[in-house]
């Protein structure tokens, strides 16, 4: 079949039905703009949450009397666990140096310490911070280990909060996506209703169903694509003029609103626009294609 | 070419059938007028042939195709055997006359080469070779109906169905159109015209099938309209 004919028909009909096309395009653009801005903020927050989660570490304080070989063997053993990303050994001397560093403005604090009471420790970072409790439990009670600290309550609260935040974000994105799809189905149905004569004539002269569907499908996808591009341009301007200022004024938080994220979002919006256009016109056409 | 056996059609929520016990045989190359008052079943007759609706009981064969047992996705292939002309022309207002005719070929996937050859040919047959670039709104009613006939015929279907083709046209134009139908029939196409137009039927002296309340009351070889309006 001649694909060019379908594209030609789609472009001609975009031009000749430009009012309806404009309506559909602006609907797609607005829906995707709202969806995109929300997703952008949500994803940025997600990045932020992830960076908080990454900071979750386990601190293992070692007994002073544990022999160095055993400590070394333990370190190697912990590294070999599949949940563990890295184990850093902090010797007694290093701990003291850090302590002195930290309180260098309070010499009396340092002077009050006789000798070196600080224990050596491991700082364990995990591949997935969700495993922190499991790994910590496994470490507790070993003979080389004095104490395992991982800020249990803080970690559990953090995960509870991030779970809820993510669920709400996902729910909003789904709702907004559904709303956009409905709006677009209605708009395209109106556009097709305005052209039902064309469809009925196509059927009368014996056009097969997919032959009737394809130009509408391409038209819907074209509208979705243009709408997505408009939404992306608007999101870009919002990012440059607004988000980056926010990020600067909140520089103590690791917020980026980065270009990487923007590119990924743009790609998703284009895919979403194409899908919404195609899906919308198929749903809208179904009623008109019953034999 | 067309065969109906004991065809009865009830519409939902109607106690009387729209068509009852219809038996019709139409041979290849015949010219038939389907006459009868409004509501007598003429349009139902045509919609059954196009498989826009299915009969309640009975069998229908069109161009050798068993219409009742046709799978829905094959319906387009049935319709490619039937050219259709309607009272309201059903032209696409945003396409020129030429494009309207070419459309029928394009939706069947014919090549540009074939389209460029056949469209002017068929426009010449209906006498509008110089009007092809105009939009339907720039043409008279008679000219629009000729374009719709050209569209119906451009694919060379063996059957031409016309539902009240002269309903919106003045008498002189109607007679011109009938002459065109006659010419098309003489070229070998089976033509079936449903009509109210007395002068047309009486002047042509073709086979007439008369419907009343959904039943065939008359089937004459060289008939006349035969009703007082």
pLDDT top residue among A212 and B83: B83
| Residue in A with minimal Cα distance to B154 | A205
B15: closest CA of chain A, how far (Å): 25
At residue A46, the pLDDT reads: 76
Between A75-89, B102-116, B180-194, the lowest mean confidence (pLDDT) is in A75-89
Residue A154: the pLDDT is 72
d(C-alpha A208, C-alpha B73), whole Å: 8
Give the distance from residue A198's alpha carbon to the nearest chain B alpha carbon, in angstroms: 6
Selecting from A197, A212, A291 the residue whose C-beta is nearest the C-beta of B90 gives A197
pLDDT tens digit sequence for B41-92: 999 999 999 998 999 999 999 998 999 999 888 888 899 999 999 988 889 8
Would the pLDDT of B135 be above 90? yes
- Could B108 and A205 be called an inter-chain contact, meaning their C-beta atoms sit closer than 8 Å? yes
Mutate to test the interface with A, among B107, B115, B122, B136 (most CBs of A within 10 A): B107
Inspect the interface and report whether the beta carbons of A198 and B50 lie closer than 8 Å. Answer: no
Nearest Cβ partner of A291 from B72, B104, B155?
A: B72
Comparing CB atoms, the residue among A198, A207, A209 nearest residue B92 is A198
Closest Cα in chain A, distance from residue B21 (Å): 25
Tell me the percentage of chain A whose pLDDT exceeds 70.
93
Average pLDDT over residues A233-253: 80
Residue A164, pLDDT > 80, answer yes
Q: How far apart are CA A271 and CA A217, in angstroms?
A: 15
The answer to whether A206 contacts B94, with C-beta atoms less than 8 Å apart, is no
Domains of chain A (ranges, CATH numbers): 3-52+158-289 (no CATH), 57-149 (3.30.70.3040)
Which residue of chain A comes nearest to B151, CA vs CA?
A: A205
Q: Which helix (H) or strand (E) holds B186?
A: helix B171-186
State residue B228's pLDDT score. 58
Work out the minimum CA distance from A34 to partner chain B, whole angstroms.
35
Kindly tell me if the per-residue pLDDT of A202 is higher than 80. yes
Indicate whether A167 pLDDT > 80.
yes
Chain A: give the shortest CA distance to residue B223, in Å.
30
Mean pLDDT of chain B: 90
Residue A21 has pLDDT above 90, yes or no: no
Count of CA atoms in the C-beta half-sphere (13 A) of A32? 34
pLDDT exceeds cutoff 80 at B164: yes
User: At CB < 8 Å, which residues of chain A contact B?
Assistant: 1-2, 5, 16-17, 197-198, 200-209, 211-212, 291
3-state class of B3 per DSSP?
strand
pLDDT of B193 reads: 94
| Closest residue of chain A to B157, computed from CA coordinates | A205
- Percentage of chain A beyond pLDDT 90 is 4
Contact check, Cβ <8 Å, A207/B92: no
Copy the structure tokens of residue A179. 């709303």
pLDDT > 60? residue A43: yes
Query: Looking at residues B199-219, what average pLDDT do you find?
Result: 90
Please report the pLDDT score of residue B183 as a whole number.
Answer: 92
What are the b/e assignments for A243-261, b being 16+ CB within 10 Å?
beeebeeeeeeebebbeeb
Tell which wins on pLDDT, A28 or A254.
Answer: A28
Residues of B with CB under 8 A from a CB of A: 50-52, 72-73, 75-80, 84, 90, 92, 94, 103-104, 106-109, 111-112, 151-152, 155
Mean pLDDT of the A156-173 span: 80
pLDDT digit string (tens) for A90-129?
Answer: 888 888 888 888 777 777 777 777 778 888 888 888 887 7
The C-alpha of B203 sits at a distance from chain A's nearest C-alpha, in angstroms, of 30
Q: Tell me which chain A residue has its CA closest to the CA of residue B94.
A: A16
CB contact under 8 A, B107 and A209: no
């Amino acid at each position: 079949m001649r694909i060019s004919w379908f594209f030609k028909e789609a472009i001609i009909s975009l031009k000749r039905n430009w009012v309806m096309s404009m309506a559909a395009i602006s609907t797609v653009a607005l829906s995707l703009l709202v969806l995109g801005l929300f997703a952008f903020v949500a994803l940025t927050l997600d990045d932020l949450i992830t960076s908080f989660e990454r900071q979750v570490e386990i601190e293992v304080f070692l007994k002073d009397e544990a022999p160095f070989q055993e400590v070394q063997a333990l370190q190697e053993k912990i590294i070999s666990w599949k949940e563990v990303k890295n184990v850093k050994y902090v010797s007694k001397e290093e701990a003291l140096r850090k302590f002195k560093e930290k309180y260098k403005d309070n010499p009396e604090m340092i002077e009050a310490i006789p000798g070196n009471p600080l224990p050596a420790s491991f700082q364990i970072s995990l591949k997935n911070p969700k495993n922190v409790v499991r790994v910590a439990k496994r470490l507790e009670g070993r003979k080389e280990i004095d104490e395992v600290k991982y800020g249990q309550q803080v970690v559990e609260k953090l995960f509870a909060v991030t779970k809820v935040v993510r669920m709400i974000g996902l729910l909003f994105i789904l709702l907004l996506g559904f709303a956009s799809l409905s709006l677009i189905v209605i708009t395209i149905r109106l556009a097709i209703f305005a052209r039902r004569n064309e469809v009925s004539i196509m059927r009368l002269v014996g056009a097969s169903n997919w032959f009737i569907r394809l130009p509408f499908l391409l038209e819907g996808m074209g509208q979705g694509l243009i709408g997505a591009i408009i939404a992306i341009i608007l999101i870009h301007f919002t990012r440059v003029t607004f988000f980056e200022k926010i990020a600067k004024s909140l520089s103590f938080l690791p917020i980026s609103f980065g270009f990487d994220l923007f590119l990924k979002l743009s790609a998703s919006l284009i895919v979403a626009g194409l899908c919404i256009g195609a899906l919308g016109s198929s749903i809208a056409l179904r009623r008109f294609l019953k034999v | 070419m067309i065969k109906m056996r004991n065809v009865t059609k009830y519409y939902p929520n109607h106690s009387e059938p729209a068509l009852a016990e219809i038996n019709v045989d139409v041979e290849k190359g015949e010219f038939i007028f389907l006459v009868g008052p409004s509501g007598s079943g003429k349009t139902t007759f045509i919609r059954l042939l196009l498989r826009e609706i299915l009969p309640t009981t009975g069998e229908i064969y069109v161009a050798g195709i068993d219409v009742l047992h046709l799978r829905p996705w094959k319906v387009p292939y049935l319709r490619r055997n039937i050219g259709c002309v309607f009272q309201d022309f059903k032209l696409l207002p945003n396409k020129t006359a030429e494009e309207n005719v070419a459309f029928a070929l394009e939706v069947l996937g014919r090549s540009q080469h074939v389209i460029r050859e056949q469209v002017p040919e068929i426009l010449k047959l209906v006498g509008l070779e110089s009007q092809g670039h105009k939009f339907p709104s720039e043409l008279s009613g008679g000219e629009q109906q000729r374009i719709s006939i050209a569209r119906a015929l451009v694919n060379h279907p063996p059957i031409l169905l016309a539902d009240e083709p002269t309903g919106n046209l003045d008498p002189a134009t109607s007679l011109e159109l009938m002459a065109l139908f006659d010419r098309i029939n003489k070229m070998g196409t089976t033509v079936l015209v449903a009509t109210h137009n007395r002068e047309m039927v009486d002047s042509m002296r073709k086979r007439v099938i008369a419907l009343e309340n959904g039943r065939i009351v008359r089937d004459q070889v060289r008939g006349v309209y035969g009703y007082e309006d």
